[in-house]
C-alpha cells in the first residue's frame, strides 16, 4: 500500500495565474520535510570556538509583501546572500561567530607580477578564495531553495530598493550580520578569513551603489551596452546590404535578439534571428555547441552562411563571398538562428490557459503531447549523440579520418548507436543543457512530405526544436579529471570551483536534483578532508556515473524534458519548493512498504501524476485525460535519482510504440495517441499566424548608422531605445 503520509505538495503556481505575484513563503520549513530522505550522513563538524550565529534554518523570512521574482539565469545572479553563514547539515552545530571582521592578509590583496617568486602562492590563495566563496554561497542558496524560501533569489538591487523605499529592516540585518569564524585548516583557513572579510566589504560596496536605470537598459550594465554597440557595428559592416531589419524581439543581461530578413546569394529569402551577445566571454561558446548540433531535426538550427555561398565561376568573387561568410560564422559575439514562427512552448502554454473559460484550461490533446514528447526525446538524443558525429551518418565516400559529417545537407537521423548507452562509442558528446525549460523549446512548422523529409513527418503537429545552449556543457567538461597526476594545487582548486559553479546553472524552479540535493551538504568543503563513503564525490570519477551531487548525464536532460511535459499536462509551473513522493509501483516487489531499503526506494517529483490515493481528484482527472501510461512515464523522468530515470532509448521505444498504428492495420481509435491531432485544436491554438510586420521598408545602410534606424516605425519599443548602440 502506498504511503500517503508524505508532506503535502506546495501550492503550485498555475500557468493561468502567472501574472499574479506569489507572496513569499514564511520562515524556512524543516529540511527533513522536503524531498526524498536519502541524504548520506553529514561530515562531523569541527568543535565550535564561540557562541553559534543564527543558522540558515532560523533565518528571518522576507516581508510578506514581497512578490516571487521572475525566472532568470541563476548563474548570473549576484551572490547576494553570501554574507550569511552556510547552512549546517542536519544535526550539525552552526558555524561559530567571530567577534569582529578579520583583516585580509596582504598577500591576497591583489595578483602578483609574473616575476614575483610569490606569484604561484598568491594565485593559489586567490583560487581557493573563489572556491570558498562559491561553496558557502551554494550551500546557503540551495538550503533556501529546498525549503521554499525566496531569499535564495535576493539581489543587491532588491535589498537596496527596500532601504530606499523605507523598508530598511532586511538591509540592516544584512549589514549587521556577524562574520563566522572559519573551520578550515592550513591555507584554507587563511583563505576563509580573507573571503569572509571580502563578503563584508561587498555588502557596503554593492548596497552603496545607485539604483539601476529604468527601461530597456536596466538589465544591461554600461560595459554590456558598450559591448553591444561594438557588436552591432561589427555585424553591420559584415552584413552589408543583404539583410533587412524586421523587428526587435527582446534583450536581457546576456544580450539582445532581433529578427532579420536575409536574401540568400542562392536566391531564397530566409527569416533569421540574430542573437548579439554582450557577455565578455561566453562559456561555452554557443556557436560551437550550435555547430556540433547542425542537421539535427529537433535542435533549433544555426544558419551557416558559408554553406549558403553558391559556386561562382569567378575565383575572386567566390573567394570574397566565402571570406565574408566565414567572418560572420566565426564571430563569437553574434549568432544567427532559424526563425520559429509559432514562438516558444511557454507562449503556447499561456495561450492554452487563456483560451478557456475562467478557472479552466484548454487541455493539450493526448495526441499532441505524445508527439511533443517524441520531439523532446529525439532532441535529447541529438545532444547525447550529435547526428553529424555518428559514423553511421557519414557519407558513403567519407575519408577514413572523418570525425563529422559535413555541415551542409539535409537533416540526419537522431539515434543512439549500438552500445551508445555506455557512453564510450564514437560520436558521444554527452551535452547537458542545464536550461531546458518551456521557454527554450520552439515550435517551428509542419513538415512537408517529400523524398528528403523526416520519417515520420510532422504533418499532424508542428515540430519542436530545443534552443539556447548558453549554459550547455559536454561530457569532456563535466567529467574532467581534477585529480590528474599532472594537476597542481592551483589547477585542482580551479576545477573544484568549476564543479561547484555548475551547481548554480539554470533558472529558478528548474534546478536539477543533482544541483539542489541535500547530498551536497555532506561534502567536506575542505578538500583535504575526506567526504563520507558512498557519496559519489568527486564527480570526476570514471564514467559511467550514477547518482550523486554534481554528476550530470543525459538523464539530467531527461529530468528537464519530464518537467516540461509536467507543465503541459498540469498547467502549472514546477513546484516550489520541490517535493517528491514515493512511487511504489517501480520498487522491488515482494517487500513490505517499510522494509524497502532506502537506496531502492523510488521518489519522483511528478508524484501528482501517479498518486494512487482515490481522493486525489487532480491525479484521477489527469490519468483519465492523458492515460495512465503517459502519467507514469513522465513521473519516471522526474525521479530523484538518475539511475531510477529511464534512459533515452527506453523513452524512444515507449514513444514509438504509442505513436505506431494498430498491428492489424486500419485507422487507430479516436482517443489513441496515434490518432490524428484534432483539427479544431490546431486551428484554435496554431492557426496560421501572420508573418511579422516589417519595421522598416528599406535596406539598412550599416556603413553610416547615424540615425536611429533600429526603432520600428510602427511605434513598438525596440532596439532604437538604446541609442548609444548605433552611434559611431
Residue 238: predicted pLDDT: 56
Helix, strand, coil percentages for the chain (3-state, nearest 5): 40, 10, 55
- Of 102 and 587, more confident: 587
Spatial separation of the C-alpha atoms in residues 583 and 641, rounded to whole Å: 12
* pLDDT band of 84, cuts 50, 70, 90: very low
- Distance from C-alpha of 447 to C-alpha of 725, rounded to nearest angstrom: 39
In a domain, 317, yes or no: no
Residues 6+ apart with CB under 8 A from 533: none
* Tens digit of each residue's pLDDT (9 = 90 or more) over 375-409: 999 999 999 999 999 988 888 766 677 788 888 88
162 band by pLDDT with thresholds 50, 70 and 90? low
The most confident of the ranges 34-38, 81-85, 544-548 is: 544-548
Domain residues for 54? 15-211
Query: Cα separation of 567 and 369, whole Å?
Result: 11
- pLDDT tens for each residue of 600-648: 899 999 999 999 998 999 999 999 999 999 999 999 999 999 999 999 9
Cα distances (Å, whole numbers) of residue 623 to 229, 353, 603: 52, 19, 19
Using a pLDDT cut of 90, give the percent of the chain over it: 19
pLDDT of residue 183: 45
pLDDT band at residue 426 under the 50/70/90 scheme: confident
Confidence of residue 262 (pLDDT cuts 50, 70, 90): confident
The Cα 622–Cα 628 span in angstroms is: 8
Higher local confidence (pLDDT), 236 or 90: 236
Contacts of 24 (CB under 8 A, 6+ apart): 61, 62, 63, 64, 66, 67, 68, 149, 150
Spell out where 502-557 has E strands. none
Mean pLDDT over residues 700-704, rounded?
31
Model pLDDT, residue 508 = 86
DSSP 8-class letter at 229: H
For residues 252 and 128, the model is more confident at 128
Rounded Cα–Cα distance for residues 560 and 654 (Å): 18
C-alpha dist (Å) from residue 6 to 147, 580, 582, 603, 607: 15, 8, 8, 11, 11
**Residue length of the chain:** 728
Residue with the bigger pLDDT between 77 and 713: it is 77
- Give the orientation angle of helix 554-570 with respect to helix 617-626, to 10 degrees: 100
Q: At what angle do helices 648-659 and 554-570 cross, to 10 degrees?
A: 40
Is residue 626 classed exposed, middle or buried when 0-12, 13-18 and 19+ CB atoms within 10 A define those classes? buried
> φ and ψ at 173, to 5 degrees?
-65, -40
Q: Ranked by mean pLDDT, which of 37-46, 125-134, 572-581 comes out on top?
A: 572-581
Could you tell me if 89 and 43 are in contact, meaning their C-beta atoms sit under 8 angstroms apart?
A: yes
d(CA 384, CA 405): 16
Q: Is the alpha carbon torsion for 199, 201, 203, 209 positive or negative? A: negative
pTM of the complete model beyond 0.75: no
Residue 363 located in a structural domain:
no
Q: Is 369 inside any structural domain?
A: no
- 229 found inside a domain: no
If pLDDT is split at 50, 70 and 90, which confidence band does 54 have?
very low
Helix axes 315-329, 222-239, angle to 10 degrees: 160
Q: CA angle, 251 as apex, 246 and 255 as ends, to 5°? A: 105
Separation in Å, CA 510 to CA 379, 469, 612: 18, 15, 26
- pLDDT tens for 192-222 read 455 555 555 555 554 454 333 333 334 456 6
Rg of the chain over Cα atoms, rounded to whole angstroms, equals 27
Q: Where are the alpha helices (DSSP H) in 303-423?
A: 315-329, 345-354, 366-384
- Exposed (0-12), middle (13-18) or buried (19+): which is 124, by Cβ within 10 Å? buried
Closest CA to 195 of 117, 119, 137, 121: 137
Determine if the peptide bond prior to 544 is cis (ω within 30°).
Answer: yes
Residue 69: pLDDT over 80:
no
Q: By the 8 A CB rule, do 282 and 224 touch?
A: no
Sign of the C-alpha dihedral, residues 390, 391, 395, 396?
Answer: negative
pLDDT value of position 368: 93
Compute the distance between CA of residue 629 and CA of residue 99 in angstroms, rounded to an integer.
60
Task: Assess contact for 592 and 17: CB atoms under 8 A.
Answer: no
Per-residue pLDDT, 657: 92
Angstrom distance (rounded) from CA 273 to CA 290: 14
Q: Helix axis angle, 345-354 relative to 554-570, nearest 10°?
A: 20
CA distances (Å), origin 497, targets 133, 520, 532: 9, 14, 20
Q: How many CA atoms does the CB half-sphere of 56 hold within 13 Å?
A: 32
Query: Does residue 602 sit within a domain?
Result: no
528-551: pLDDT as tens digits: 666 676 666 666 555 555 677 888
State the pLDDT confidence band at 173, using cuts at 50, 70 and 90. Answer: low
If DSSP codes are grouped into helix, strand and coil, which group holds residue 472?
coil
pLDDT digits (tens, 9 = 90+) for 457-503: 676 788 899 998 888 988 877 875 545 556 677 777 777 888 888 88
pLDDT at position 499 is 84
Q: Is residue 529 part of a domain?
A: no
Band the pLDDT of 275: cuts 50, 70, 90: confident
Burial code (b: 16+ CB inside 10 Å, e: under 16) for 691-719 equals eeebbbeeebebeebeeebbbbeeeeebb
Question: What's the pLDDT at 718?
Answer: 30
Specify the number of domains making up the chain. Answer: 1
Whether residue 507 contacts residue 74, with contact meaning beta carbons closer than 8 Å, is answered with: yes
DSSP code at position 250: E
| Any domain includes 564 | no
Confidence of residue 235 (pLDDT cuts 50, 70, 90): low
- Decide if 305 is inside a domain: no
Average pLDDT over residues 420-444: 88
Amino acid at each position: 500500500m502506498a504511503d500517503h503520509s508524505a508532506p503535502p505538495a506546495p501550492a503550485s503556481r498555475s500557468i493561468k495565474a502567472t501574472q499574479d505575484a506569489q507572496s513569499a513563503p514564511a520562515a524556512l520549513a524543516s529540511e527533513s520535510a522536503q524531498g526524498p530522505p536519502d541524504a548520506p550522513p553529514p561530515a562531523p563538524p569541527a568543535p565550535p570556538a564561540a557562541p553559534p550565529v543564527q543558522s540558515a534554518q532560523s533565518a528571518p523570512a522576507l516581508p510578506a509583501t514581497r512578490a516571487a521574482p521572475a525566472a532568470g539565469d541563476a548563474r548570473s545572479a549576484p551572490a547576494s546572500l553570501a554574507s550569511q553563514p552556510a547552512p549546517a547539515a542536519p544535526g550539525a552545530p552552526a558555524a561559530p561567530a567571530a567577534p569582529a571582521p578579520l583583516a585580509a592578509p596582504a598577500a591576497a590583496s591583489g595578483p602578483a607580477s609574473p616575476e614575483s617568486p610569490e606569484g604561484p602562492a598568491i594565485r593559489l590563495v586567490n583560487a581557493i578564495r573563489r572556491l570558498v566563496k562559491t561553496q558557502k554561497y551554494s550551500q546557503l542558496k540551495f538550503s533556501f531553495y529546498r525549503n521554499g524560501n525566496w531569499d535564495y533569489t535576493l539581489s543587491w538591487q532588491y535589498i537596496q530598493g527596500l532601504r530606499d523605499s523605507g523598508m530598511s529592516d532586511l538591509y540592516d540585518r544584512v549589514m549587521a550580520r556577524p562574520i563566522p569564524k572559519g573551520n578550515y585548516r592550513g591555507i584554507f583557513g587563511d583563505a576563509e578569513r580573507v573571503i569572509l572579510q571580502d563578503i563584508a566589504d561587498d555588502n557596503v560596496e554593492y548596497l552603496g551603489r545607485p539604483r539601476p536605470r529604468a527601461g530597456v537598459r536596466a538589465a544591461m550594465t554600461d560595459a554590456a551596452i558598450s559591448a553591444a554597440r561594438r557588436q552591432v557595428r561589427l555585424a553591420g559592416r559584415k552584413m552589408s546590404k543583404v539583410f533587412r531589419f524586421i523587428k526587435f524581439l527582446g534583450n536581457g543581461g546576456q544580450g539582445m535578439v532581433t529578427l532579420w530578413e536575409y536574401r540568400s546569394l542562392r536566391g531564397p529569402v530566409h527569416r533569421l534571428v540574430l542573437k548579439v551577445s554582450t557577455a565578455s566571454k561566453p562559456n561555452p561558446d554557443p556557436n560551437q555547441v550550435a555547430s556540433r548540433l547542425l542537421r539535427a531535426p529537433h535542435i533549433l538550427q544555426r544558419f551557416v552562411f558559408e554553406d549558403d555561398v553558391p559556386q561562382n565561376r569567378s575565383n575572386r568573387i567566390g573567394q570574397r563571398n566565402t571570406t565574408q561568410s566565414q567572418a560572420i560564422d566565426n564571430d563569437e559575439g553574434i549568432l544567427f538562428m532559424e526563425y520559429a514562427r509559432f514562438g516558444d512552448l511557454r507562449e503556447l502554454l499561456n495561450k492554452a490557459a487563456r483560451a478557456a473559460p475562467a478557472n479552466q484550461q484548454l487541455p493539450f490533446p493526448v495526441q499532441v503531447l505524445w508527439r511533443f514528447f517524441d520531439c523532446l526525446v529525439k532532441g535529447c538524443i541529438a545532444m547525447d549523440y550529435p547526428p553529424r558525429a555518428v559514423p553511421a551518418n557519414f557519407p558513403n565516400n567519407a575519408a577514413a579520418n572523418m570525425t563529422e559529417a559535413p555541415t551542409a545537407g539535409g537533416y540526419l537521423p537522431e539515434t543512439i548507436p549500438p552500445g551508445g548507452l555506455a557512453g564510450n562509442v564514437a560520436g558521444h558528446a554527452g551535452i547537458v543543457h542545464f536550461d531546458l525549460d518551456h521557454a527554450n523549446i520552439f515550435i517551428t512548422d509542419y513538415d512537408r512530405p517529400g523524398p528528403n523529409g523526416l520519417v515520420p513527418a510532422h504533418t499532424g503537429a508542428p515540430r519542436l526544436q530545443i534552443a539556447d545552449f548558453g549554459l550547455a556543457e559536454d561530457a569532456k567538461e563535466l567529467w574532467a579529471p581534477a585529480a590528474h597526476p599532472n594537476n597542481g594545487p592551483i589547477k585542482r582548486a580551479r576545477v573544484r570551483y568549476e564543479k561547484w559553479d555548475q551547481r548554480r546553472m539554470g533558472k529558478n524552479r528548474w534546478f536539477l536534483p543533482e544541483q539542489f540535493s541535500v547530498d551536497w551538504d555532506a561534502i567536506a568543503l575542505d578538500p583535504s578532508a575526506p567526504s563520507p563513503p558512498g557519496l559519489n564525490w568527486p564527480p570526476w570519477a570514471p564514467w559511467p556515473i550514477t547518482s550523486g551531487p554534481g554528476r550530470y548525464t543525459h538523464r539530467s536532460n531527461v529530468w528537464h524534458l519530464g518537467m516540461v511535459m509536467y507543465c503541459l499536462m498540469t498547467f502549472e509551473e514546477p513546484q516550489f519548493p520541490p517535493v517528491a513522493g514515493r512511487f511504489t509501483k517501480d520498487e522491488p516487489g515482494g517487500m513490505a512498504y517499510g522494509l524497502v531499503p532506502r537506496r531502492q526506494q523510488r521518489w519522483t517529483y511528478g508524484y501528482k501524476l501517479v498518486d494512487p490515493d482515490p481522493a486525489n481528484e487532480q491525479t484521477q482527472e489527469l490519468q483519465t485525460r492523458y492515460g495512465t501510461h503517459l502519467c507514469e512515464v513522465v513521473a519516471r523522468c522526474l525521479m530523484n535519482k538518475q539511475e531510477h530515470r529511464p534512459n533515452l532509448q527506453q523513452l524512444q521505444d515507449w514513444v514509438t510504440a504509442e505513436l505506431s498504428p494498430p498491428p492489424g492495420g486500419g485507422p487507430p481509435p479516436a482517443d489513441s495517441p496515434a490518432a490524428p491531432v484534432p483539427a479544431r485544436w490546431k486551428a484554435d491554438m496554431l492557426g496560421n499566424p501572420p508573418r511579422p510586420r516589417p519595421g522598416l521598408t528599406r535596406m539598412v545602410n550599416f556603413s553610416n548608422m547615424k540615425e536611429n534606424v533600429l526603432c520600428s516605425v510602427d511605434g513598438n519599443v525596440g532596439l532604437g531605445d538604446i541609442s548609444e548602440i548605433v552611434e559611431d
